[in-house]
Chain A
Amino acid sequence: MRIVIAEDLAILRQGLAHLLADHGHEVCEAVADGAALQTAVARHHPDVAVVDVRMPPTFTDEGLRAAISLRASQPGTAVLVFSQYVETRYAARLLADSPVGVGYLLKDRVADVAEFVDALERVAAGGTALDPEVVRMLMRASRQAGGVSSLTAREREVLALMAEGRSNAGIATALVVSPGAVEKHVAAIFGKLGLPPAGSDNRRVLAVLRYLEG
């Protein structure tokens, strides 16, 4: 994979670059703010951009805004937004147009290097990666609203993993059940939430999120 990193804290910027290089990926450029990110992506056309949310000059959400504008201007580049906090509002903005080739992860996730690289590869390949924390917050919010209250505990687990962007096989591995059982759960979830069963993982995430966002 060819990657551009936008992160204002040098210690994390360099760490990420080394980590990705360890795994045989090419870091084309590592920059420190949103404007430089736009230029770097336009120059290198990378497979994926890893973008910090809080960057100069305002230290609020320029990374997120840069990511959203990148998704419009550079459809060939997937975007993984990377932050020390997760905000469901940000997730909703990021996924609003289409959940193709987009991810939103807590920075903590780099501690599990293999999982992090896996999520990044999934995003670069046009998939989705949503932080479990975001999913948890969305679930909690919608449970209060009564949305997923009809689901069983197991179905809720499956929905959470689905929302993170995992495939049925991935869910089966995570829950240590058979793929057939997962398929049954997924069908039950769609049935209970009144969603038509759809083919790809992305549609599932989109459907789940749209539903959760109400």
Chain B
Amino acid sequence: MGSMTPTDAGSRAGAEPARDPWLLAAGCGSAGGSAAPSERSWRAALDWLLAKGPVGRRARAEIAYWLLAFPLSLLVLLPLLFLLAPGLLLTGSLVGALLGLALLALLTRACRTLGRAHLRLAGSRLDAAVTPPAPFQPGRGILGRLDARLRDAVGWRAVAYVILRLPLACVGLYFTVVPYVVGLFYLSYPFWWLVLPLRGLGKDGRVHPLPVSTPFPVGGVRITTFPETLLICLLGVVLLAAAQWTARLAVIVDSWMMRNLLGATGRAERIRELEASRARAVDDSAATLRRVERDLHDGAQARLVALAMHLGRAKEQLGPEGEPPNVERARDLLSTAHQGAKDALTELRDLARGIHPPALDGGLEDALASLTASSVTPATLSADIGMRPTPAIETIAYFCVAELLTNVTKHSRAAHVMVEAIGRDGTLGLSVSDDGDGGARRQPGGGLAGLEQRVSTVDGTLRITSPPGGPTVVTIKLPLQA
């Protein structure tokens, strides 16, 4: 190669026209139009790159993750192999079985800790939330502790993860680093073509091709003209654009492994769900009792106090004996008291119905029929429940539909509402759909959120579809037995 020689001029002349587009393009960048719009578009492009593109926040996090993960996996695996191999060997040899088992116990313990650290790292770097497993339950005494460690499924799954992690980290690192490095390298091909005397006539008088390596050990082409370098440059752009996806692919595999090997198992997760739903059920019943107390205090109880007060005053007006001093006034007070007694009765009846609707005694279908019949917004019911749900489910279903119907009347301005209740495959599906305004949303502390909480106490679900302009459909699924 060496420095340029006069003989280069010929081939150089061939390259000249191809140089122009570069220069033109560069010129356009600085001279085209006023500085402000182009500056703005540059800024926008830069922002996009830093936020979303191949060097965006997520991509950067993933690159950092793999750059960290590879050396860490390597560092961690080697000492663990020193525990695993002698542990297995000693256990197998029977002579040092106890020592071998102790080494293996130590291994599960170390891997458990590592697994937790991994989950934390993944949680902070990748926003990949994996439910961590329940803490270790040690046995009693040294042997009990050893036994518990050796049978610690979480620990052994963590061992599997740590072992599988090294090859994955290799692949992850490769998929992260290589596309970026090679992409940047490709991007710079036209530059090298122009700057480095990589081409030219060799001793045999032929053009020396510029080699293009690939991310893989095999393959590769050699290029001989400048336009070909532009093609390679384009390939670099494609590779850079794809780089974040290849890195993410490895992350997805890793998250899958973490979920299945480091995360809580199905049963542990289920226990946690049940604990949460039990807490909700307790809260819900406490809230119900509070509401009933409040309704009694402000409603029937207050009315009865007022009633007693009116009767007391009437009694005074009638006097202790003989001719009443003020009959007219006593009559007024009595009639007020009478009305008050009737109001108190209504109040108590409503409250009792709110605690347990008597309509439910005849089954959910009947109760829903009476609900829809008394709905302010005209409602039709289509019910096919089949096997009777348990009382708790019937009560929840009834109150959900009652509240949804009230919501329709209060908020939706609907002309008609349709209630469906279908029992199938152990599930009770309820849906309340109206032709109103839509735009219904769950708000913390709101009615729909309250319903959702109530439904979730029995593992039910509540779904709302309510685009602005309507229609609104609320679907509730409850187990028939709970």
Tell me if B298 and A9 are in contact (CB < 8 A): yes
- B270 on interface, CB distance cutoff 8 Å: no
Residues of B within 8 A of A16 (CB): 309
Give the dominant DSSP class at A's interface. Answer: helix
Q: Whole-angstrom distance from the CB of A155 to the nearest CB of chain B?
A: 32
Partner of B316, one of A54, A59, A107, A114: A114
Residues of A within 8 A of B15 (CB): none
Interface centre among A18, A22, A111, A112 (most CB of B within 10 A): A111
Residues of A within 8 A of B306 (CB): 11-12, 15
Tell me if B297 and A113 are in contact (CB < 8 A): no
Number of A-B contacts (CB under 8 A): 46
Q: Give A107's nearest chain B residue, CB to CB.
A: B305
B-contact bits for A48-62, CB 8 A (1 contact / 0 none): 000000100001000
Residues of B within 8 Å of A, CB-based: how many?
17
Please measure, in the bound complex, the distance between the C-alpha atom of A196 and the C-alpha atom of B429, giving whole angstroms: 75
Tell me if B301 and A84 are in contact (CB < 8 A): yes
Q: Give B310's nearest chain A residue, CB to CB.
A: A15
- B312 on interface, CB distance cutoff 8 Å: yes
- A28 on interface, CB distance cutoff 8 Å: no
Residues of A within 8 A of B294 (CB): 59
* A: contact size bracket: 10 to 19
Q: Give B301's nearest chain A residue, CB to CB.
A: A84
Residues of B within 8 A of A110 (CB): 305, 308-309, 312
Please measure, in the bound complex, the distance between the C-alpha atom of A54 and the C-alpha atom of B293, giving whole angstroms: 13
A-contact bits for B311-339, CB 8 A (1 contact / 0 none): 11101100000000000000000000000
Q: Give B307's nearest chain A residue, CB to CB.
A: A111
Q: Whole-angstrom distance from the CB of A21 to the nearest CB of chain B?
A: 11
Within 8 A of B (CB), among A97-114: 107-108, 110-114
- A42 on interface, CB distance cutoff 8 Å: no
Known contacts: A54-B297, A110-B308. The answer to whether A19 contacts B313 by CB under 8 A is yes
Partner of B309, one of A54, A59, A84, A111: A111
Q: Whole-angstrom distance from the CB of B156 to the nearest CB of chain A?
A: 54
Residues of A within 8 A of B316 (CB): 22, 113-114
Please measure, in the bound complex, the distance between the C-alpha atom of A118 and the C-alpha atom of B52, giving whole angstroms: 80
Residues of B within 8 A of A114 (CB): 316
In the complex, the 7 A-B pairs of residues with the closest C-beta atoms, listed nearest first:
A111-B308, A113-B312, A110-B309, A107-B305, A9-B302, A15-B309, A11-B306
Q: Knowing that A84-B305, A111-B308, A112-B312 are A-B contacts, what are 18 other residue pairs whose CB atoms are under 8 Å apart, sorted by A's residue number? A: A9-B298, A9-B302, A11-B306, A12-B305, A12-B309, A16-B309, A19-B309, A19-B313, A22-B313, A54-B297, A84-B302, A107-B305, A108-B305, A108-B308, A111-B309, A111-B311, A113-B309, A113-B316
